[in-house]
Amino acid sequence: MIQLWDHFNYQRLLRFTFPSVVMLVFTSIYGVVDGFFVSNFVGKTPFAAVNFIIPLLMILGSVGFMFGTGGGAMIGKTLGEGKPKQAKELFSLIVAISLVCGVTLEALGFLFLRPAAVVMGARGQLLEDCVLYGRVCLLALPFYILQYEFQCLFATAGKPKLGLYVTIAAGAANMILDALFVAVFRWGLVGAAGATALSQFVGGVIPLYYFGRKNSSLLQLTPCRFDGAALVKICINGSSELMSNISMSVVSMLYNVQLMRWAGENGIAAYGVLMYVSLIFQAVFIGYSVGAAPVISFHHGAKNRAEVKGILQKSLILTGIFALLMFAAGQTMAKPLSMLFVGYDLELLHMTIWAFTIFSFSFLFCGFAIFGSAFFTALNNGLVSALISFLRTLVFQCIAVLLLPIFWGLDGIWISTVVAEMLALAVTALCLVKKRNTYLPTAADRDQQLREET
């Protein structure tokens, strides 16, 4: 069994992160199932509505990712410092606060869902479909937040495989219920949203049951006191991941506005396909980063800089290999993936294939910024992590999608993500160089290692 305190070579690193990669990929795949069934069994306008409102729902759910990544980094560091009791109390505090946030955001979501959809430009049947799908999904928001959170914390608890099994259970529930509710019972958008909500309930409740009992992991839910200082630090440290999810959702809204202007509902539907597939491809990078982060945090807390340096070097090489594979897959599978969603509409199909061919170039660059942001979060340097994430997912994307269509029209929208990811890669490289003194071994570290070896 691989432990956080082990030395990690390539094989051990891949084995430890593999469950997290599969877990995030599987989560993305079962999220795509809604789109598949809605597009093929309900229609193009409901499919556009799902893509239109999902970014807003993701903003609300991303609170869980903030607590999961920021809290996981602090918990991992605390475990590395030899304080297991304090680590369990931090874990319990995060879970309790997440539930409170979930209920609060659920209530706010019901109040502001329709006005938000109107502001984004939804009208007529598109608006009604957005509100219908969104309100059903909001019923499970507290569990959606917990599901996001536990996806990160299972690795910190030393149980990445268990996290994978929970994700598979939730994903299987979503796929089966989607087929039953939408394809068999013909419940339309309500059926698709209900399947998603029930799967999120499964993904949130099973971990609560596991960690609420005595278990063989490093973490357990225990009585805890409110620690405002620790909570603020967790939120700051996880703010990059929160910002990343919020920014992606805000950018998706901006893309939808631009696409409505340049291509109408067809543009939004095509972009929806890109986002579904992109979620699966980027989940490889995010899953690897989530899996590697607790290891980095633990060795950072244990002041083992040589191991942190080794993990960084190996991770950059692995990310480069993943990037090439993702790009090749994107170029090869553009047509079959597009046909899976919109094969029933020839004009929309051609638009989607061309957009996907351009968009897939972004896979060559995005993984490095994703890992770079997660790396600094794992080092408990939330500010640098947030900077990378903020520039990558919001600033560069917004500037590109507003400016490039002026010169290249609709193609400028598809190119925007590629340009933004290239700029984010440059920023990530600069931050790694500028902050190298915080993670590279010092002369004293090397002398100590030499003495231990002799």
CA gap 400, 403 in Å, rounded: 5
Give the residue carrying structure tokens 């010169």.
Answer: 407
CA gap 160, 207 in Å, rounded: 12
Is 415 a residue whose pLDDT tops 90? yes
The per-residue pLDDT for 237 is 78
CA gap 69, 65 in Å, rounded: 6
* All residues at 6 or more sequence positions from 282 whose CB lies less than 8 Å from its CB, including other chains: 28, 363, 366, 367, 370
Is 365 a residue whose pLDDT tops 90? yes
Among the residue ranges 68-77, 193-202, 352-361, 414-423, the one predicted with the least confidence is 68-77
CA gap 328, 174 in Å, rounded: 29
* Average pLDDT over all residues of the chain: 86
Q: What is the mean pLDDT of residues 88-106?
A: 95
Is 31 a residue whose pLDDT tops 80? no
Question: Would you tell me how many other CB atoms lie within 10 Å of the CB of residue 375?
Answer: 27
Tell me the torsion sign for CA atoms 186, 49, 141, 36: positive
Beta strands in 350-429 (DSSP E): none
pLDDT greater at residue 427 or residue 48: 427
Q: What is the mean pLDDT of residues 132-151?
A: 93
The per-residue pLDDT for 372 is 93
Among the residue ranges 185-199, 317-331, 332-346, 389-403, the one predicted with the least confidence is 332-346
**Residue 402 confidence class, pLDDT cut points 50, 70, 90:** very high
The per-residue pLDDT for 380 is 80
Token couple for 328: 């090749």
Is 206 a residue whose pLDDT tops 70? yes
Tell me what percent of the residues of the chain surpass a pLDDT of 90. 39
* All residues at 6 or more sequence positions from 302 whose CB lies less than 8 Å from its CB, including other chains: 5, 80, 81
CB 104 within 8 A of CB 24: no
Burial of 6 (0-12, 13-18, 19+ CB in 10 A): middle
Q: Angle, to 10 degrees, between the axis of helix 84-119 and the axis of helix 124-138?
A: 160
CA gap 80, 349 in Å, rounded: 52
CA gap 125, 112 in Å, rounded: 18
**Residue 379 confidence class, pLDDT cut points 50, 70, 90:** confident
**Residue 422 confidence class, pLDDT cut points 50, 70, 90:** very high
CA 449 to chain centre: 37
The per-residue pLDDT for 14 is 86
For the stretch 288-301, pLDDT in tens is 998 888 888 888 88
Burial of 213 (0-12, 13-18, 19+ CB in 10 A): exposed
Question: In angstroms, what is the C-alpha Rg of the chain?
Answer: 22
Closest CA to 65 of 354, 319, 309, 289: 289
CB 348 within 8 A of CB 267: no
The per-residue pLDDT for 437 is 83
Is 228 a residue whose pLDDT tops 80? yes
Q: What residue ranges do the domains of the chain occupy?
A: 15-453
**Residue 193 confidence class, pLDDT cut points 50, 70, 90:** very high
The per-residue pLDDT for 163 is 83
Q: What is the mean pLDDT of residues 137-151?
A: 92
Q: What is the mean pLDDT of residues 87-92?
A: 94
The per-residue pLDDT for 110 is 94
**Residue 449 confidence class, pLDDT cut points 50, 70, 90:** low
Among the residue ranges 18-27, 111-120, 227-236, the one predicted with the least confidence is 18-27
Please tell me what DSSP assigns to residue 238: T
Is 345 a residue whose pLDDT tops 80? no
Main-chain phi, psi angles of 222, to 5 degrees: -135, 165
Is 239 a residue whose pLDDT tops 90? no
Token couple for 151: 């996806």
Q: Coil, helix or strand for 226?
A: coil
Is 143 a residue whose pLDDT tops 80? yes
The per-residue pLDDT for 16 is 82
Is 3 a residue whose pLDDT tops 80? no
Q: What is the mean pLDDT of residues 91-118?
A: 94
Give the residue carrying structure tokens 């991770």.
Answer: 315
Is 452 a residue whose pLDDT tops 60? no
Cα 245 to Cα 161, 172, 238, 286: the distances in Å are 24, 24, 11, 12
pLDDT greater at residue 99 or residue 272: 99
Is 42 a residue whose pLDDT tops 70? yes
The H-assigned helical ranges of 263-344 are 264-301, 305-342
**Residue 95 confidence class, pLDDT cut points 50, 70, 90:** very high
The per-residue pLDDT for 184 is 93
pTM of structure = 0.71
Q: Distance between terminal CA atoms of the chain?
A: 28
Q: What is the mean pLDDT of residues 196-220?
A: 93
